[in-house]
Structure 1
């Protein structure tokens, strides 16, 4: 039933959690063109009615494409826990590294790639601005990148690199014939998987 219909929206709760999702969701009922606080749509972005859909775990709501491929950033890009700049940054990819992705989302201003990290969680990187600047190159041939290597940068440690990829630092060191007490040097390539 509608409540407070003389206003733009009615908020049921702001801390709803759905199974399989990260964080809280704002559960509200909106009454007029999906805008609140007397906002008006810009002429370049007409408002269209969107049918109710179940919440998706960390998924973008604008567009969703089942695309796979390899992304090689040309600039440093943040690794995020969701497809949006409001999600936590848990690391970054530098130019020369590569990401094998399994889904593409367009969410507002950015195009995002989703990939399954070694920790078993989905992470996201921005491929570029929607209709604008690209943050690297994409290839559809993911089979040629069956192994992942990381180029050590100044300040890296087994712990920081392992955290980025969601694996144990002991496994990372062992994969490279080292112990966690071994020295690693900038420019050295470490085998991840």
Structure 2
């Protein structure tokens, strides 16, 4: 028996449940961890490049999955250049190289479902994010963490200290 949170939404052949006995002609096999059709689609990757423009806020993560740490976000009006696409579970992920030299990931949408923005391909030169327009609620820390640089470097690149005030609409030089 099982006590508490038990998912029986997927049933497989050749299984039995509690309070049933096996007859001599019945056999039990081990359940697959996922249906075969999910395994094939959930672990795909593609060497695709392009530009992604979110239509909703999307988290920037340290890996291609919702279990990875969110280190920032992109909002409508921003864009990123990605160099690889992964399908992991129910989501489609794009990988891009951040200014820190580390790879980061954003969800492009649900596999076979909702898209979180638009993608275009075929660009001939990388798009460079050299400036950022400050929005209400931004700080040197939040902007620097989004681009993977130190807040001290961001402030210094703009002739300021981390204690300087920044204002919505102000443009900051990132690199």
The two structures have a TM-score, normalised by structure 1, of 0.66
Aligned pair partner of 1:171 in 123, 129, 153: 153
Equivalence for 2:104: 123
CA RMSD of aligned residues (A): 2.6
Tell me which of 123, 128, 151 is aligned to 1:146: 128
1:1-193 correspondence runs (5 A): 32=30, 34-35=32-33, 41=35, 46=37, 62-140=43-121, 141=123, 143=125, 145-193=127-175
TM-score by length of 2: 0.72
In the aligned structure 2, how far is the partner of 1:155 from the partner of 1:145? 26
Structure 1: gaps spanning 5 or more residues: 1-30, 51-59
CA shift for structure 1 position 151 = 2.5
Given the superposition, is the C-alpha separation of residues 179 and 134 from structure 1 closer, same or farther in structure 2, using an over 3 Å criterion?
same
Count of aligned pairs: 147
- Structure 2 spans left out of the alignment, 5+ residues: 1-28
- Mark the CA change 1:101 to 1:46 in structure 2 (over 3 Å): closer, same or farther: closer
**Alignment check: 8 A CA contact 2:81 2:126 kept:** no
Contact 1:101 1:115 in 2 (8 A): yes
Q: Give the superposition deviation at 1:125.
A: 0.3
Structure 2 SS opposite 1:132:
coil
